[in-house]
Chain A
Amino acid sequence: DAKTTQPNSMESNEEEPVHLPCNHSTISGTDYIHWYRQLPSQGPEYVIHGLTSNVNNRMASLAIAEDRKSSTLILHRATLRDAAVYYCILRDWGSGNTGKLIFGQGTTLQVKP
């Protein structure tokens, strides 16, 4: 299974942008890059996913390097409610694959008022 590497923790100030990096040097052609986050005492929730092009949705933006060996989750204006563990996950969409999520340690984001 492809692996990702993320910093253990990051800090941000409220209302400032946050860039959460993820390295995935062994990514394969059928791997999609997914981000989930887990707020305290809750189950994980889907944030965004992408394959090659940058993606935007109401929650965040995903910037993917041209060689796909790294990506960055961007929160445009961090709020206190964005304090969570953020997981970068490679999900194989190839045929015959179950598409299961393999969670690593994630990045714990602290947002300071």
Chain B
Amino acid sequence: EAGVAQSPRYKIIEKRQSVAFWCNPISGHATLYWYQQILGQGPKLLIQFQNNGVVDDSQLPKDRFSAERLKGVDSTLKIQPAKLEDSAVYLCASSLLARKYEQYFGPGTRLTVT
């Protein structure tokens, strides 16, 4: 079974530029999550999708971050404009359904904002 795929694996941008991350979840997984992991900390949930609808985006900085999951499969997370404090690893995870099922994480995208 193929795992969660993410691209790119690494990205370096200057502050005020924009960047986008892509995630392809495990086939058949209805729930998709985006997490932000700052160095030395545990991952923090940014947004959770159930199929193509948003379930929880309470921790998403909506003035600069946006995410979509068209057709309930792939998802993109965008930052525009980026700030220095956005430097982190962005992790995508998926699960069969929410609540009771384990989450499978991708390898993450390491973003450096200079």
Contacts of A97 in B (CB 8 A): 99
B99 touches A93 (CB 8 A): yes
Interface: A29 (CB within 8 A): no
> Within the complex, what minimum Cβ distance (angstroms) separates A43 from chain B?
3
Q: Give Cα A93 to B97, complex, Å.
A: 12
Q: Give Cα A21 to B99, complex, Å.
A: 24
> Within the complex, what minimum Cβ distance (angstroms) separates B1 from chain A?
14
Nearest B-chain residue to A102, judged by Cβ: B45
B42 touches A104 (CB 8 A): yes
Interface: A16 (CB within 8 A): no
With contacts A43-B91, A43-B107, A49-B102 taken as known, whether A98 is within 8 angstroms of B43 at the C-beta atoms is: no
Q: Tell me which of B42, B100, B102 has the highest count of chain A C-beta atoms within 10 A of its own C-beta.
A: B42
A103 touches B100 (CB 8 A): no
Nearest B-chain residue to A92, judged by Cβ: B99
Nearest A-chain residue to B56, judged by Cβ: A98
The number of chain A residues with a CB under 8 A from chain B is 23
Interface: A101 (CB within 8 A): yes
> Within the complex, what minimum Cβ distance (angstroms) separates A51 from chain B?
11
Interface: B55 (CB within 8 A): yes
Q: Of residues 74 to 114 in B, which have CB atoms within 8 Å of A's CB atoms?
A: 91, 93, 98-100, 102-108
Contacts of A91 in B (CB 8 A): 99
Q: Of residues 5 to 54 in B, which have CB atoms within 8 Å of A's CB atoms?
A: 33, 41-45, 48
Q: Which of B41, B42, B48, B102 contacts A98 (CB 8 A)?
A: B48
A105 touches B42 (CB 8 A): yes
| A contact set with B: CB distance below 8 Å | 34, 36, 41-46, 49, 85, 87, 91, 93, 97-106
